[in-house]
Chains A and B, each alone.
Chain A
Amino acid sequence: MIDNLSILLSHALLLFLFYQVIYRDDLDEEAPPPKINLDADTSRYRPVRAAQKVKPVKVETNDAPPPATNRTNTAAKKPIRGRRDA
């Protein structure tokens, strides 16, 4: 009795599976894979090794550093004559 019940249940499910495969074409359709834009950052699609990790790079430019002014450069402050703390 239990054996027959189990056989009936599993075979009915298998038959239903075959029926679904045949009569539902939408199940067999597969959307094309989402395109990956190679021009964009693709690092998350590839395995990253330690050697490939992006390291911060010092950017060298020809521009001269901004000139130090009295307001910002405290070391360059000149003592003011006549003041006690000078």
Chain B
Amino acid sequence: MRDLIFVAFLGTLFLLAFRRPYLFAMIYLYIDIVAPQRLSYFLLNSIPISLIAFGFAVIGAFIDDKKMDARFTARQGAMCALFAYCAYMTYTGAVSPLAALDKWAWVSKSLIFAIFLPFVLHKKFRFEVAILTYVICASALIVTGGIKTAASGGGDGYGTLVILIDDNSGLYESSIIALVAIAIIPLILWLVKYGTVFKRDWKVNVYAGCLIFACLLIPVGTQARTGLVCIAVLAVLLLRFSKRRFVYLGVIAALGVISIPFLPASFTDRMSTITDPKADQSASTRLAVWAWTWEFVKQNPMGGGFDSFRINKISFELADSDKPVTLDEAGAGPVKVQDEARAFHNSYFEMLGEHGFLGLFLWLFIFVGTIARLEIIQRRYKRRNLEGEEWVAPLANALQNFLIIFMVGANFVGIAFQPFPLGMASIAIAFDTYLTRREREQTFRPISSMMRRKTASA
């Protein structure tokens, strides 16, 4: 039954998109985030719906009457260079060729779409539609996770909260959904204030409030430490433009204190390991993997291709013998742990280990460059303060906050090529291009008028 509903829903979306071809790109986003083919048992599994949506999106972009407004930027160039470099490493220099091919299958799609997306977004309304699509699709997972957490306290341990399906990839992975749930909060706030599709009224306010609450519950339910760090970063970022900073700080502190008794014990136990990484196996493994990656990249500056971590063999000591690997080891002093093929759990080391210094540089250029451009836009448009441009600086701020939270969260989870942050960087690139074009239009003066002025002054 669910399958038939999904087929009918997708069919309706495709039919509607023929009226506005750029909506095919939004259908691709929906398939990429929600992955309806994973939620269904037959029919959709056998059809390459994401490829079909992308094909229609490209055709739609070509027949779009406004395609001349599209520009190719340096950051898109960096994405192209990264794409070419990843392809080269996958096919010629990967240390685990089969695993590299597996990862390349989805990374290539993610990068191509990120390069393509700015070509279809060249209006304020389209930015809003793209951001709304992202938020609504993510809400499909966040709402269910939030309700389950509120009702039962979430999972018993890390990764045990089942959101729609028991899967460990994309947004269905605990740390990734925790990071994304917190990072989209500034975007939800922007949509509430400046959205035109869902204009601000009590219904929008109530839904947005509930969604933000669900977003905050996701790190509790998933017990992802990344989520807690992201909440702290979000609190600091929102402080930047808060009008009453002391009141804001007081409210945040009060909410923090009030929420502690309601938090499940398993969550507080897990969060307490943040301060003592040597006592926690997961954190100790990460430190050992990062040390291995640094040594590996010193010998292989070009990196080892996708999933190069599969060749690692690490050993480390757990400082606290009260938390042993096996029960027999309790109280026997530091426990020596040996492990192999452990993932990077850090996007920076992921880039470094997989694509070396060049890959890391290109990746940083895309994301840090975007954050820097958004800062410039925000400052400039705050000063301009022109009528009809009130939405610009807050959108730059919301996108920037998303990317900063992502960059901080990326320290704890390997999500360098996840489609969600890459898509947000694409929206930011399109937004930047759009503003540059508008500024040119604003100050445009035909040559004839300049000639007239010259003659008049003479």
**B214 CB to nearest chain A CB (Å):** 9
Number of residues on chain B facing chain A (CB within 8 A): 48
Q: Are B442 and A34 interface neighbours, CB within 8 A? A: yes
**A25 CB to nearest chain B CB (Å):** 10
**B344 CB to nearest chain A CB (Å):** 31
Within 8 A of A (CB), among B115-169: 123-125, 129, 132-133, 136-137, 139-141, 143-144, 147-148, 151, 164
Within 8 A of B (CB), among A1-21: 2-7, 9-11, 13-15, 17-21
| List of A residues within 8 angstroms of B9 by Cβ | 11, 15
The one of A3, A17, A36 that contacts B164, using a Cβ cutoff of 8 Å: A3
Q: Are B197 and A15 interface neighbours, CB within 8 A? A: no
In the bound assembly, the distance between CA atoms of A13 and B441 in angstroms comes to 35
B12 located at the interface, meaning its Cβ lies under 8 Å from any Cβ of chain A in the complex: yes
Q: Are B442 and A17 interface neighbours, CB within 8 A? A: no
Q: Are B136 and A17 interface neighbours, CB within 8 A? A: yes
Q: Are B143 and A6 interface neighbours, CB within 8 A? A: yes
Given A15-B9, A22-B19, residue A33 in contact with residue B441 (CB < 8 A): yes
Within 8 A of B (CB), among A39-80: 44-45, 47
Q: Are B16 and A17 interface neighbours, CB within 8 A? A: no
Q: Are A34 and B386 interface neighbours, CB within 8 A? A: yes
Given A10-B137, A32-B441, A38-B443, residue A17 in contact with residue B380 (CB < 8 A): no
In the bound assembly, the distance between CA atoms of A7 and B145 in angstroms comes to 12
The one of A19, A20, A32, A45 that contacts B384, using a Cβ cutoff of 8 Å: A45
Q: Are B197 and A27 interface neighbours, CB within 8 A? A: yes
Q: Are A17 and B20 interface neighbours, CB within 8 A? A: no
Given A15-B9, A15-B13, A38-B443, residue A6 in contact with residue B144 (CB < 8 A): yes
A-side interface mostly: helix
Q: Are B443 and A2 interface neighbours, CB within 8 A? A: no
A-B contact count (CB 8 A): 97
Q: Are A34 and B133 interface neighbours, CB within 8 A? A: no
| List of A residues within 8 angstroms of B387 by Cβ | 34
Within 8 A of A (CB), among B1-46: 2, 9, 12-13, 16-17, 19-20, 23, 26, 30, 34, 39
| List of A residues within 8 angstroms of B30 by Cβ | 14
Q: Are B19 and A7 interface neighbours, CB within 8 A? A: no
The one of B12, B23, B39, B164 that contacts A21, using a Cβ cutoff of 8 Å: B23
| List of B residues within 8 angstroms of A85 by Cβ | none
Q: Are B442 and A15 interface neighbours, CB within 8 A? A: no
| List of A residues within 8 angstroms of B19 by Cβ | 22
The 6 closest A-B pairs by CB, nearest first: A10-B140, A6-B144, A6-B143, A33-B438, A22-B19, A33-B442
Can you name 11 extra interface pairs (CB under 8 A) apart from A6-B144, A7-B39? A2-B151, A5-B143, A6-B140, A6-B147, A7-B144, A10-B143, A18-B13, A18-B16, A30-B123, A45-B383, A45-B384
Chain B residues with a Cβ under 8 A of chain A: 2, 9, 12-13, 16-17, 19-20, 23, 26, 30, 34, 39, 123-125, 129, 132-133, 136-137, 139-141, 143-144, 147-148, 151, 164, 196-197, 376, 379-380, 383-389, 438-439, 441-443, 445
A-B contact pairs, 25 of them (CB 8 A): A2-B147, A2-B151, A5-B147, A6-B140, A6-B143, A6-B147, A7-B39, A10-B143, A15-B12, A17-B136, A17-B197, A18-B16, A18-B17, A18-B23, A21-B129, A22-B19, A22-B23, A27-B125, A27-B196, A34-B387, A34-B388, A35-B442, A36-B442, A44-B383, A45-B383
Chain A residues with a Cβ under 8 A of chain B: 2-7, 9-11, 13-15, 17-22, 27-28, 30-36, 38, 44-45, 47
